């Protein structure tokens, strides 16, 4: 060793192996974005018409709204301009980091369960697809004239509240919504229903402007303020749904459906209700004005 020339020293190499890294890179299968029972093709069931579709056949027409997962779009189908539906896209994660998949899966289960019952007042579920190029779940459903948030904002702008109470009763009397088979979280759902009713009645989400830490403090002592245009029976229901002690909230949807204020909602909306809803729908400003 001592006699080695400078040239030899330069030639000495150290070889470092990373056998595990090399092997795992080769052995790891590509991430899977699949959902069990959803494929890149599906049979669309549109008002009695059956058609096999894929995402390439969907044309975006306009934006209907934006949620946590992005835009919900109005689309039609190539060669079938008569088919109009709303599509919600949810990005899927590889299977080993499946938070989003869980949400996508829950959303899909809910809209499938609720929207497959052919109820005249519940949006219909048409089909679910996987967009393999963008790794997204694409839920195809009936397009509403407007979502509840756009509706109530227009109602408050117009200051028209004569049918507010019947509207709240209808929102609460919604047995199909409740048949999702969710085995847990039912009392949290009660809270969510209570918040939605306050939001519709007041025109604003009660905690909209609060930061998370402010919310945690406020929620402990919060006493919901129910506008006095709301009937006593409806106010009572809302206050029960929003009890801070969850054991004091209704324990099942059946309990709500049995309350007179909810139970006695007629199946068919009255003429006053229809006229009211139609007049508000006509006042809804274009989406980007909100
Ligand atoms: N079927 C539909 N027809 C018309 N507009 C819709 C439809 N579904 C959703 N929208 C509009 O798109 C908006 C976003 O919907 P989305 O379901 O993504 O939001 P979200 O209810 O806040 O739920 P998430 O928390 O999953 O994002 C809604 O607030 C509504 O304005």
Q: Indicate if ligand 1 lies below 6 Å from the C-beta of 72.
A: yes
Per-residue confidence (pLDDT) for residue 244, from 0 to 100: 84
Domain count, the chain: 2
Per-residue confidence (pLDDT) for residue 70, from 0 to 100: 82
Local mean pLDDT, 10-residue blocks, the chain (290 residues)? 48 50 48 73 90 96 88 95 95 66 81 82 90 91 91 95 93 62 58 92 89 81 90 95 88 88 91 96 78
Per-residue confidence (pLDDT) for residue 163, from 0 to 100: 95
Per-residue confidence (pLDDT) for residue 188, from 0 to 100: 65
Which distant-in-sequence residues (6+ apart) come within 8 Å of 15 by Cβ? none
**Structural tokens at position 274:** 């229809």
Task: Say how far apart CA 153 and CA 161 lie, in whole Å.
Answer: 12
Pick the last residue of a domain from 85, 117, 141: 141
CA of 198 to the centre of ligand 1 (A): 19
Q: What is the pTM of this model?
A: 0.75
Q: What share of the chain is helix, strand, coil (3-state, %, to 5)?
A: 45, 20, 40
Q: Indicate if ligand 1 lies below 6 Å from the C-beta of 124.
A: no
Per-residue confidence (pLDDT) for residue 67, from 0 to 100: 85
Pick the last residue of a domain from 141, 158, 186: 141
Per-residue confidence (pLDDT) for residue 156, from 0 to 100: 95
Pick the last residue of a domain from 141, 174, 196: 141
Per-residue confidence (pLDDT) for residue 216, from 0 to 100: 82
Cβ atoms within 10 A of the Cβ of 201, count? 25
Are residues 64 and 108 located together in one domain of the fold? yes
- The CATH number assigned to the domain holding 126 equals 3.30.200.20
Substitution candidate for ligand 1 out of 88, 101, 146, 287 with most atoms within 8 A of CB:
88
Give me the interface pTM, i.e. the ipTM. 0.95
Per-residue confidence (pLDDT) for residue 199, from 0 to 100: 94
């Amino acid at each position: 060793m001592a006699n080695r020339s400078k040239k030899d020293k330069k030639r000495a190499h150290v070889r470092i192996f990373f056998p595990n890294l090399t092997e795992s890179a080769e052995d790891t299968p590509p991430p899977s974005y699949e959902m069990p029972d959803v494929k890149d093709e599906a049979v669309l069931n549109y008002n009695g018409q059956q058609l096999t579709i894929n995402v390439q056949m969907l044309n975006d027409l306009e934006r209907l709204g934006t949620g946590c997962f992005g835009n919900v779009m109005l689309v039609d189908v190539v060669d079938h301009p008569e088919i109009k539906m709303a599509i919600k896209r949810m990005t899927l994660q590889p299977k080993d980091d499946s938070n989003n998949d869980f949400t996508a899966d829950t959303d899909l289960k809910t809209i499938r369960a609720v929207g497959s019952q052919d109820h005249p007042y519940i949006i219909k579920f048409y089909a679910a697809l996987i967009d393999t190029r963008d790794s997204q779940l694409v839920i195809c459903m009936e397009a509403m004239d407007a979502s509840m948030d756009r509706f109530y904002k227009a109602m408050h702008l117009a200051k028209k509240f004569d049918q507010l109470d019947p509207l709240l009763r209808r929102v609460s009397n919604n047995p199909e919504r409740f048949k999702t088979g969710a085995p847990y979280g039912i009392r949290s759902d009660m809270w969510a229903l209570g918040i939605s009713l306050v939001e519709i009645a007041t025109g604003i989400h009660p905690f909209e402007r609060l930061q998370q830490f402010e919310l945690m403090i406020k929620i402990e002592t919060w006493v919901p303020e129910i506008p006095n245009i709301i009937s006593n029976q409806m106010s009572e229901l809302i206050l029960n749904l929003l009890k801070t002690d969850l054991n004091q909230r209704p324990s099942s949807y059946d309990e709500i459906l049995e309350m007179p204020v909810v139970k006695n909602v007629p199946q068919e909306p009255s003429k006053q209700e229809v006229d009211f809803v139609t007049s508000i729908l006509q006042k809804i400003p274009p989406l980007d004005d909100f």
